[in-house]
């Protein structure tokens, strides 16, 4: 347990915790739905190879899977 000297520090921790959970949820989503994500990539005109390596990113209230080998961003949807 810690002591907050201002409301800002509490808000920062809560926001950080929220986005940490969002990223973890999307990591699970990517792992469980890899076939669907490959299909989404194909619909976006991106042909992925056999060896996949993803990183997640957030931009403008949307979350993306970045496939490292193809250097391709695949939009997964809005943050929830």
Quick: pLDDT tens for 30-78: 889 889 989 988 998 989 988 999 999 888 989 898 999 999 988 888 8
Label residues 25-55 b or e (16+ Cβ within 10 Å = b).
ebeebbeeeeeebeebbeeeeeebeeebebe
Q: Is there a domain that residue 11 lies in?
A: yes
Q: Is there a domain that residue 1 lies in?
A: no
Q: Is there a domain that residue 2 lies in?
A: no
Query: Cβ-count burial of 65 within 10 angstroms (0-12 exposed, 13-18 middle, 19+ buried)?
Result: buried
Structural domain harbouring 41: 7-78
Token pair in block for residue 68? 């490292």
The predicted model scores a pTM of 0.66
Q: Is there a domain that residue 67 lies in?
A: yes
Using the predicted structure, report yes or no on whether residue 4 has a pLDDT greater than 90.
Answer: no
Q: Is there a domain that residue 48 lies in?
A: yes
Q: Dihedrals φ, ψ of 48, to 5°? A: -90, 155
Give how many domains the chain has, as a whole number. 1
Q: Is there a domain that residue 62 lies in?
A: yes
Instruction: Report the C-alpha gap between 22 and 80 in whole angstroms.
Output: 8
């Amino acid at each position: 347990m810690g002591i907050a000297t201002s409301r800002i520090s509490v808000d920062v921790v809560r926001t950080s915790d929220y986005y940490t959970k969002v990223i973890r949820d999307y990591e699970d989503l990517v792992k469980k739905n890899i076939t669907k994500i490959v299909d989404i990539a194909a619909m976006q005109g991106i042909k992925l190879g056999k060896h996949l390596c993803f990183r997640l990113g957030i931009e403008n209230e949307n979350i993306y899977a970045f496939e490292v080998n193809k250097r391709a961003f695949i939009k997964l949807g809005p943050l929830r």
